[in-house]
Amino acid sequence: MDYEAFTQSLMTDLRANGRPTSGPMAGRPLMILTTTGAKSGRARQAVITYTRDGERYVVAATASGSPTHPDWYHNLKAHPEVIIEADGEKFRARAVEAVGSERDRLYTQHASERPEFRDYPGMVTRTIPVFTLERID
């Protein structure tokens, strides 16, 4: 599979329809997260799933159970101001890493809505970071 072509097609679908309309991600709540590269300083885009906690968007840096954090994690830590494209909207937001019991609550809530996330903690030795993304414009 050409991952780059798949991602570009998915982003086009998300921008046109708010949610993916075909393929393995059809109907899932996905966002295009634009971050600033931690090292490069360049705009970087990733398609990631999210849940909501009130007005906040919640994302978990699972990297699908990878032993290392996804690139966007490092970008959020270095530059927490991001652009979100979700549900037909595009806006600026600020990422805040959840800690302690708040992190645990948000991850449990996230995994209850996205069952594939239930297995990831058992696949890794790292604590999976959880971020809230709050609109700032």
Say how far apart CA 6 and CA 1 lie, in whole Å: 8
User: Which has the closest alpha carbon to 90: 135, 40, 35?
Assistant: 135
- Half-sphere exposure of 33 toward its Cβ, with a 13 Å CA cutoff? 31
Between residues 137 and 21, which one has the greater pLDDT? 21
| Residue 87 DSSP symbol | T
Q: Does residue 1 have a pLDDT over 80?
A: no
What is this structure's pTM? 0.91
For the chain, the average pLDDT equals 93
Tell me which residue has tokens 């994690």: 73
Report the percentage of the chain scoring pLDDT > 70: 99
Q: Does residue 9 have a pLDDT over 70?
A: yes
Say how far apart CA 130 and CA 108 lie, in whole Å: 10
